[in-house]
């Protein structure tokens, strides 16, 4: 139980980061790269994803810029998914 004089501050990841995480899990080669990356800082991981997507990132980013980048990377990864088409049998 938390003492009444202590406040618990819970911060959730923004939806854009959660969406990116969900999409990354559909890319085993990228998952391996992220696993092998020694620095597990979320910003370094996002930059690693950008590199995988061949998107150059430079400069100073605001919080909103990072969220927009996450959205862009999610869309790019989605477009990079392999599609398997199976013939129908009649």
* Per-domain boundaries in the chain: 15-76
Three-state SS at 83: coil
Please report which helix (H) or strand (E) contains residue 68, including its range: helix 63-80
Q: What is the pLDDT of residues 39-75, one digit of tens each?
A: 989 889 999 999 999 999 999 999 999 999 999 999 9
The whole-number pLDDT of residue 65 equals 95
- Alpha carbons 32 and 28: distance in angstroms, whole number: 6
Residues ≥6 apart with Cβ < 8 Å to 5: none
């Amino acid at each position: 139980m938390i003492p009444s004089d202590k406040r618990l501050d819970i911060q959730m990841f923004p939806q854009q980061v959660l969406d990116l995480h969900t999409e990354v899990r559909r890319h085993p080669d990228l998952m391996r790269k992220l696993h092998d990356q020694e620095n597990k800082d979320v910003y370094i991981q996002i930059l690693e994803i950008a590199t995988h997507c061949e998107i150059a990132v430079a400069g100073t980013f605001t919080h909103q810029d990072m969220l927009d980048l996450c959205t862009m990377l999610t869309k790019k990864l989605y477009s990079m998914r392999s599609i398997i088409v199976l013939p129908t049998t009649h």
